[in-house]
């Protein structure tokens, strides 16, 4: 079995333009479109998520130093948050502009088993932005 790290945008949000970020694990699966896998480098055309810090995979979200998310190139959904730039965590685009902010929002876990596929994870952040989870998924 191959264990990969993934990031999921929540399917439901409390407001129309906000979404939640979950970090978790995926074990063997076939998807119409897959999760955003953990990568060491998500620059250029590489889609995925780069997370640095001890809070990425099981620790507290307060221990995430950098979370870089590259969801699509067209439209360009490539944002990064930095712990050392203050709270709330601002969402920075490649152009240096801010596109909203993340707030620490832990406490919800999920475990999904369907046939040969298992997904599980824990919510880390709520994203307050103009973008929705549906827009991000549609960009794939």
In the chain, % of residues over pLDDT 70: 72
The Cα angle at residue 120 between residues 65 and 129, in degrees rounded to 5: 50
Q: How many domains does the chain have?
A: 1
The Cα angle at residue 24 between residues 66 and 77, in degrees rounded to 5: 50
At 39 the pLDDT is: 65
> What's the CA dihedral at 57, 128, 89, 35 to 10 degrees?
30
Structural domain boundaries, residue 65? 3-138
At 76 the pLDDT is: 92
- Joined together, the tokens standing for residue 77 give 């959904």
Instruction: Please list the helix, strand and coil fractions of the chain in percent, rounded to the nearest 5, in that order.
Output: 10, 55, 40
pLDDT in tens, 28-53: 443 444 556 666 777 888 888 888 99
Which segments of the chain have a pLDDT < 50?
A: 1-16, 27-33
Q: Is the peptide bond before 88 cis (omega within 30 degrees of 0)?
A: yes
């Amino acid at each position: 079995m191959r264990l990969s790290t993934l990031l999921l945008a929540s399917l439901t949000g409390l407001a129309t333009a906000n979404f939640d970020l979950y970090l978790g694990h995926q074990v063997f699966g076939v998807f119409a479109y897959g999760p955003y896998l953990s990568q060491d480098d998500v620059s250029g055309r590489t889609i995925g998520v780069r997370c640095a810090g001890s809070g990425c995979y099981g620790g507290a979200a307060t221990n995430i130093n950098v979370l870089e998310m590259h969801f699509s190139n067209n439209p360009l959904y490539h944002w990064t948050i930095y712990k050392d730039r203050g709270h709330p965590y601002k969402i920075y685009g490649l152009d240096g502009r801010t596109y909203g902010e993340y707030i620490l929002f832990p406490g919800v876990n999920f475990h999904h088993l369907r046939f040969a596929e298992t997904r599980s994870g824990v919510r880390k952040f709520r994203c307050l932005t103009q973008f929705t989870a549906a827009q991000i998924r549609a960009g794939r």
